[in-house]
Amino acid sequence: MRPPSQPKFAPQLKWFCCIFPALILAIIALNSCATLTKKQCRTADWHSLGVNDGVHGRPHSRFEKHMKACKKARVVPNREQWLAGHKEGARRYCRLSNAYEEGRYGRTYHGICEGNRHIAFMRVYRVGLKKYRLERKRDHLSQKISDDESKIYDLESKHSKGKIDKQSAETAIESLDDQIALTRIDLSYAQDELDEFNALLLRDGYLGIARVNLVITDDDEG
C-alpha cells in the first residue's frame, strides 16, 4: 500500500512553522531594544530623562536612540532639554566615589565626564576595575576546581554503576586530579595577588592608589 500523499501545501506549511516563531522572537527583540515606548515618548519630560541618563553614565548616543524610539510615535525629542538634564546628571555620575563603584562592579564607563574630571574618574575607575578583575580571576579558578571535582564524582559514580570500565575511569580521574593540582597553584597566586591589592586599598584608599592629586571642590562633587 502506498503511503498517503501529503497535501500540496505541506512544504509551505512546514517552512511557515519554522520561520514564524523566529520572526516573532526577532520582533520582540527589536521592541525590547527601544529606549522608550510610544506612550513614554508622548509624555516625556526631556530634561528629567536627560538627568536620568546622565546619572547612569549613558553617553550622548543615548539621545539618538530616544529619537529612533519616538519616531513611530511621531514625537521629536527636545535635544536642548535633554542635554541640559544630561549635563546635570553627569555631574552626579562623575563623582570619584562613583568611579570606584563603577569599576568595582565591572560596569562600562562611556567617557561622559569632561576635562580633569574625566582624567581623575578614569584613574579611580581603573582601581575599582582592577579589584573586580582580580576577584573574577579568583572566582573563575575556584569554580574550575569545583567543576573538575564534580567530573571526578560523576566518573566514580558511572564506574560504580558499571557504565564505564575501571581503566578508563582511572585514566580520566588521574588527568583531572593533575588539572586540579595545577589550578590550585594558580588559585593560590590569584588569592595572594588579591590579598595584596586589598591591603593596599586598606592602607592608601582608592584615591591614594589612583594618585588623584586634583583639587576636588564641593561643587565638583555635587
- State the pLDDT at residue 72: 87
Averaged pLDDT for residues 85-111:
97
Work out the pLDDT band at 15, boundaries 50, 70, 90: very low
Mean pLDDT across the chain: 86
Averaged pLDDT for residues 61-73:
93
Q: Check pLDDT > 90 for residue 219.
A: no
Q: What is the pLDDT of residues 100-138, one digit of tens each?
A: 999 999 999 999 999 999 999 999 999 999 999 999 999
Averaged pLDDT for residues 209-221:
57
Averaged pLDDT for residues 70-95:
95
For every residue of the chain, DSSP letters joined together read -PPPPPPTTHHHHHHHHHHHHHHHHHHHHHHHH-SS-HHHHHH--HHHHHHHHHHTT--THHHHHHHHHHHTTT----HHHHHHHHHHHHHHHT-HHHHHHHHHTTPPP-----HHHHHHHHHHHHHHHHHHHHHHHHHHHHHHHHHHHHHHHHHHHHHHTTSS-HHHHHHHHHHHHHHHHHHHHHHHHHHHHHHHHHHHHHHHHHHHHHT--S---HHHH-
Q: Check pLDDT > 90 for residue 163.
A: yes
Work out the pLDDT band at 213, boundaries 50, 70, 90: low
Averaged pLDDT for residues 32-56:
91
Q: How far is CA 200 from the centre of its chain?
A: 27
- State the pLDDT at residue 29: 37
- State the pLDDT at residue 211: 85
- State the pLDDT at residue 216: 47
- State the pLDDT at residue 34: 80
Stretch among 1-5, 85-89, 142-146, 179-183 having the lowest mean pLDDT: 1-5
pTM of the predicted model, to two decimals? 0.77
